[in-house]
Amino acid sequence: MTSGAVTVTNALGMHARAAARFVHTAAAFQSQIRLSRGTHTVDGKSIMGVLLLAAARGTMLEITADGPDEIKAVAALVQLIESGLGE
């Protein structure tokens, strides 16, 4: 299991387009991916789950991956959020 912490930097936070981008990327990996905000944890491959985290700009998130490509997955997803989710 691998995990990494990251702060949401883009202006709109994890709204539809950003959440979609995140889930798209997460879905490309075989590992199971979880996304947590404090005690609230959701499936990182669920667009609804990611949306319902309601992560605005400045929110701290933890990404956890478990599976054969977990290291790559966490690195890619942390980088995606740090880069502002393509905004």
Partner 1 sequence: MQRLKGIAVTGGAAVGRAVLLVHRGEAVRFPIPPDRAESEIARLAASRARSRTQLEHIKANISRGPGSELAPIFDAQLLLLDDPMLIGRAETLVRTELVNAEWAVQRAFDEVEQLFDSVKDPYLRERKGDVADVVGRIRMNLRHGARARDLLRHIDGPFVLIADELAPSVAAQIDWTRVRGFAMDAGSRTYHTAILARSLQIPAIVGLHDATRRVAAGALVAIDGADGSLTIDPGPELLRDLAQRHDGSTAAVTIEPRRGPVATRDGVRVRIEANVDLPDDLAVARREGAEGIGLFRSEVLVGSGPADELTENRQYEAYRRLVEGMAPHPVTIRTFDLDESRTSGRRPIGDDAWSEVERRRSPLGLRGIRLSLTRKDLFVRQVRAMLRASAHGSLRLLLPFVTTVEEVRVARGLIEEAEQTLNAEGVQTSHVAIGAMIEVPSAALAADLLAREVDFLAVGTNDLIQYTLAVDRTDERVSGLYHPLNPGVLRLLRAIRRAAAKEGRPVSVCGEMASDPAILAILIGLGLTEFSMTPRAIPAARQLVASVEASELRSLVRPLQSSGSLAAMEEYLNREVTRAEVKS
Tell whether residue 8 is a contact of partner 1 (CB under 8 A): no
Provide the 10 A C-beta neighbour count for residue 81.
24
C-alpha distance from residue 21 to each of 1, 5, 50, 53 (Å) = 23, 18, 11, 15
Among 2, 3, 4, 15, binds partner 1 (CB under 8 A): 15
Stretch of 11-19, 61-69, 70-78, 79-87 contacting partner 1, by CB under 8 A = 11-19
Q: How many CB atoms within 10 Å of residue 60?
A: 12
The single residue among 6, 10, 29, 45 that binds partner 1, judged by CB under 8 A, is 45
Q: Which residues bind partner 1 (CB under 8 A)?
A: 15-17, 19-20, 23-24, 27, 43, 45-49, 51-52, 54
